[in-house]
Amino acid sequence: MDYFDRLEADTHHLYEIANEARSKGLDVELETEVPLAKDLAERVEGLVGPEGVAKRIKTLEQDITREEVAFEIAAEIASGKFELTGEKADWDTEQRCDQGLRTALAILTEGVVAAPLEGISDVKIKDNFDGTKYIGVYFAGPIRSAGGTAAALAVLLGDKIRQAIGIDAFKPIDDEIERYVEEVELYESEVTNLQYSPTPEEVRFAANHIPVEVSGEQTDKVEVSHRDLERVETNNIRGGALLAMVEGVIQKSKKIKKISNKLGLDWDWLEEYSKPKKDDSKEDAGDSDIVHEPKYIQDIIGGRPVLGYPSEKGGFRLRYGRSRNTGLATMGVHPATMALLEFLAVGTQLKIEYPGKGNCVVPVDSIEGPTVKLKNGDVLILDTVKQAREVKKDVVEILFLGDMLVAFGEFLRNNQPLFPSGWCEEWWIQLLMRSENFDSENTDLDLHKLEYEYLTAKEAFELSEKYDIPLHPKYTYCYNDVTIKDLNSLIELIEQGKSTFSEDEGMKLDLSYQKRILEIIGVPHLVRDNKIIIDKDHSYSLIKTLTQKLPEKETTLEALNEISKIKIINKAPAYIGTRVGRPEKSKERLMRPAPHGLIPIGNNGGSRRLVATAAKKGSIKVDISRRKCTNPDCGISSFGSLCPKCGSPTEMGNPSLKTIPLAAMLKKASDNVKVRRVDEVKGVVGMISESKLPEPIEKGILRAKHEVFTFKDGTIRHDSTDLPLTHFIPSEIGVTVEKLLEMGYEKDC
* Boundaries of every domain in the chain: 1-36, 37-272, 425-572, 589-718
Q: Which residues, 6+ apart, have CB-to-CB distance to 212 below 8 Å?
A: 134, 135, 136, 137, 155, 158, 159, 162, 169, 170
Round to whole Å and give the CA distance between 199 and 211: 20
Q: What mean pLDDT do residues 253-269 have?
A: 93
106-120, 226-240, 283-297 — most confident range: 226-240
For position 278, what pLDDT does the model report?
47
Round to whole Å and give the CA distance between 534 and 508: 6
Residue type for position 536: K
27-36, 85-94, 284-293 — most confident range: 85-94
Question: 714: alpha, beta or left, given left = phi > 0 and alpha = psi -120 to 50?
Answer: left
Residue 76: pLDDT band (50, 70, 90) is: very high
Are 477 and 523 in contact by the 8 Å Cβ rule? The answer is yes
Three-class SS string for 507-533?
A: EEEECCCCHHHHHHHCCCEEEECCEEE
Are 554 and 495 in contact by the 8 Å Cβ rule? The answer is no
| Exposure class string for 504-532: b at 16+ Cβ within 10 A, else e | eebbbbeeeebbebbbbbbbbbbbeeeeb
Peptide bond into 593 cis (omega under 30): yes
For position 333, what pLDDT does the model report?
98
Residue 465: pLDDT band (50, 70, 90) is: very high
**Weakest mean pLDDT among 70-74, 98-102, 582-586, 704-708:** 582-586
Averaged pLDDT score across all residues of the chain: 92
Q: Residue 404 class from Cβ within 10 Å (0-12 exposed, 13-18 middle, 19+ buried)?
A: buried
**Weakest mean pLDDT among 12-26, 68-82, 286-300:** 286-300
User: Dihedral (C-alpha) 685, 691, 696, 699: value to the nearest 10 degrees?
Assistant: -70
Residue 613: which of 603, 600, 604 has the closest Cα? 604
For position 289, what pLDDT does the model report?
43
Round to whole Å and give the CA distance between 294 and 357: 10
Residue 288: pLDDT band (50, 70, 90) is: very low
pLDDT digits (tens, 9 = 90+) for 582-621: 888 888 889 989 999 999 999 999 999 999 999 999 999 9
pTM of the predicted structure, to 2 decimals: 0.80
Residue type for position 26: L
Angle at CA of residue 126, ends 120 and 127, nearest 5°: 155
